Amino acid sequence: MRSIIFLFICSFFTISGQSVSQLYQQAVNSRESGNYDEYLGFMKEANALRANNQRIMYSLAEAYAYTGKADSAFYFLKEVLKIDAENYSLENDAFNTLKSGGFLQRLKFYKNLMQTQIISSDTMLVIEDPDFHIEDIQNYPSINKILVSSVNHRMIYEVDDEGKIKPVLPGKLKLSPLGIDLDNNGSLWVASVGISQGKPNKDFIDRSIIYKIDLQKGVIVKEIEISGESFAGDLFISRDQNVYVTDSKNNSLLKLEGDVFVPVLSDDRFVSLQGITELNGKIYLSDYVKGIFRWDPVSSELIKIRSSKEITLKGIDGLYSYKNKLIGIQNGVRPFRILELELDDGGEFTVNHNYLEKAHPAMDEPTLGFIEGDKFYYLANSFWQLNQDGVINNPENKLPVILTTELNDSKYNLVVEEQVEILNNRAEEAHYFYLNNWAEFRKAARFRGLVSDYSISTTNDSLKKILLRTVYPDSSSYFMIEEFFKSWSGTQDGPQFLNEVPPSEFRKVLQSIIAVEKVSQKFSEEKLSPLCRTEDHRAFDFWLGKWSVYNKNGKFLGYNNVELIQNGCVIKENWFSGNAILTGTSMNFYNKSINRWQQSWVDNTGGVLQLTGGIDDDQMILRSDTTQENQHRITWRPSQDGTVEQIWESTEDGGSTWKQLFYGIYKNSESESYERNKTQLIQEESN
């Protein structure tokens, strides 16, 4: 639906910001006359009026480059590549000024990174009809078939597992069906729009009708026309069975009240409303230009979701929820992507992101899909670009493809840690109390499933302190524990004390911390690619894990998340420093063609390292180009206690002498402080 969306966006800016096109033309005239300062001034004004537009930002970067402001040019070019890494060239004479300082090299690396394919899906279905323009798909579990909405045929079809289609209704709909969803009674709701791609009656152009269809009988139960001109692009049925529709033409959220769809939300920040989903009782909406918004149906609060500056939330068409995550189909960016966003507990900002798919060969404007169980299904190639006023111009006989990918559930535990000081040298009384009361209660709570684990230990810095740790499987268990304590304590004879010494004389609670602990999900053996199971491919697995990193003196340096991707063929590193806001990512893999390990590293300052090497005496050693005088060498050394040492060295004399740049000791870190500090760093970078 990107083509239709583009027209709406253009018309919006023509109406609300006519001066943008005027400024742009004035800027072009200034550039052609060689007045680059004036060119920069006009583009700054245009960017202020239409922020986050890749075409304007590209020209703004060009103006900055012409005026010698390389750092600003670099910033806006990276913003452009985030949105479109395919259609904006870095081979521009203006950008020659970016060669000094390595700006251009870093941008080219980033562009290649954004163009890199990420493929995690399998082909679920190929529909054997090259004249079939589909917008949405929906699972029909009662008959084990897929339902699809056909734009050009103006019909709803069943598709069997061989890709054969069968119409649900005896005749065509008045308008082209787009978004579809099933209610709890098995009825199908359809949002349809009058557009040229469906050849409707001229009186129905720019009109919308919502249908309710009885699938078993194959009849329309309800036909509700939305008042006035509208574009009902997506439809969603909430858990409490409210029917919502996004109207992209008027940028409103509509809700079914009786037999009428009424606007329940509109906002000046909206430019082109698209996808809609629900998570924890809140409605999430994707705006094709502005990103994702969260709306509370009870309080009517509307907030814009904040995210890392390393991603764009622009261009999301379909939007879906899975546990604590949002899944977005980005067909307004290049290359096309399926974006997974993990949200904080409040659902206000992203704490992590992941591309489930990027630049998949089957993708040709993916649109909408559905989630069933732990799998996400989506239409990989709609035919909007092939549909010319209802006629499909498909000389290559492309077929519609539905892809499916696994969704990984992020599991969290709630952790309560208490640090207790032992008073009056009463260590024996304190330990007796916690072993015979605190631990006994948690043993009973674990039997009831309210507690996952617990421990009593002394802290490293003093034997006069006790660390109490309780792990709850979820927040609801934590809130239930007090009620359970009341019932449990009623079955006991009262607290047990050694020497009849009361707690006030042997302990003092210094601090209590409640944190969230992400449960580590080990990479399952069956998911390993058969081609990546050799001893050489698995030689660097000792580096896998979530790590807290310290120097020799125990000073905290940062966090490093090292995980397997691409079915175990690649080790991905994500580094977050603990003091300076420095982040970096590396891809590590065994290259069978040269029988060597390779690492490609890039950080948020533009630093790049390309290393090659392998295992030497049970340690991984990777080096830069050994033919150069200036070289880098990084060594990873595993220890029997589960820690890993990393030593980074450099030489300027071809290896005669080496200087240590970094020394780190990796210790396992699965606590919430990892996610909290990582999120803090991301948010600080975004500001």
What is the CATH number for 175? 2.130.10.10
Query: Residue 685: what pLDDT?
Result: 36
Nearest to 279 by CA among 352, 346, 233: 346
- Same-domain check for residues 401 and 418: no
Neighbours of 94 (CB within 10 A): 17
For the entire predicted model, the pTM comes to 0.62
55-88, pLDDT tens digit by residue? 999 999 999 999 999 999 999 999 999 999 999 9
- Give the span between the Cα atoms of 244 and 264, in whole angstroms: 9
Query: Residue 556: what pLDDT?
Result: 82
Query: Residue 13: what pLDDT?
Result: 45
Work out how many domains the chain is built from and give that number.
4
- The CATH number assigned to the domain holding 449 equals 3.30.70.100
pLDDT, averaged across the chain = 87
- List the domain range (segments joined by +) for residue 469: 412-518
Q: Which residues pair with 562 in a beta bridge?
A: 545, 573
- Same-domain check for residues 416 and 363: no
- Same-domain check for residues 479 and 606: no
Poorest-pLDDT segment among 17-26, 176-185, 193-202, 256-265: 17-26
- Mean pLDDT over 492-501 rounds to 85
Query: Residue 462: what pLDDT?
Result: 54
**CA 194 to mean position of chain CA atoms:** 33
- Same-domain check for residues 424 and 536: no
Q: Which of 375, 406, 437 is the last residue of a domain?
A: 406
Neighbours of 272 (CB within 10 A): 24
Token pair listed for 450:
């309210």
Q: Which of 115, 132, 159 is the last residue of a domain?
A: 115
- Give the span between the Cα atoms of 224 and 341, in whole angstroms: 34
- Same-domain check for residues 52 and 196: no
- Mean pLDDT over 122-134 rounds to 92
Query: Residue 581: what pLDDT?
Result: 60
Q: What is the DSSP string of 220-278?
A: EEEEEEPSSS--EEEEEE-TT--EEEEETTTTEEEEEETTEEEEEEE-TT-S-EEEEEE
- Same-domain check for residues 397 and 448: no
Nearest to 337 by CA among 305, 314, 307: 314
134 and 150 in contact (C-beta within 8 Å)?
yes
Neighbours of 23 (CB within 10 A): 22
Query: Residue 603: what pLDDT?
Result: 87
Poorest-pLDDT segment among 398-407, 474-483, 567-576: 474-483
Token pair listed for 471:
């792990």
On the question of pLDDT at 141 being above 90, the answer is no
Poorest-pLDDT segment among 134-143, 270-279, 494-503, 654-663: 494-503
User: How far from each other are the two terminal CA atoms of the chain, in whole angstroms?
Assistant: 33
3-state secondary structure of 318: strand
Q: How confident is the model at residue 671 (pLDDT cuts 50, 70, 90)?
A: very low
- Mean pLDDT over 658-683 rounds to 62
- Same-domain check for residues 391 and 463: no
342 and 351 in contact (C-beta within 8 Å)?
yes
Q: Which of 457, 483, 518 is the last residue of a domain?
A: 518
- Same-domain check for residues 222 and 368: yes
On the question of pLDDT at 312 being above 50, the answer is yes
On the question of pLDDT at 527 being above 80, the answer is no
Which one has a higher pLDDT value, 229 or 120? 229
- Give the span between the Cα atoms of 568 and 532, in whole angstroms: 7
Query: Residue 475: what pLDDT?
Result: 55
Nearest to 509 by CA among 599, 434, 403, 576: 434
264-303, pLDDT tens digit by residue? 999 999 999 999 999 999 999 999 999 999 999 999 999 9
Which one has a higher pLDDT value, 246 or 407? 246
Is 87 exposed, middle or buried, given 0-12, 13-18 or 19+ CB atoms closer than 10 A?
exposed
- Same-domain check for residues 450 and 356: no
Token pair listed for 438:
């605190």
On the question of pLDDT at 675 being above 80, the answer is no
- Same-domain check for residues 664 and 552: yes
Nearest to 597 by CA among 642, 635, 628: 635
On the question of pLDDT at 203 being above 70, the answer is yes
- The CATH number assigned to the domain holding 598 equals 2.40.128.20
Q: Which residues of 25-54 are buried (b: 16+ CB within 10 A; e: fewer)?
A: ebbeebbeeeebebbbbbbebbbebbebbb
Q: What is the DSSP string of 289-305?
A: TTEEEEE-TTT--EEEP
- Same-domain check for residues 511 and 531: no
Poorest-pLDDT segment among 49-63, 172-186, 295-309, 338-352: 338-352
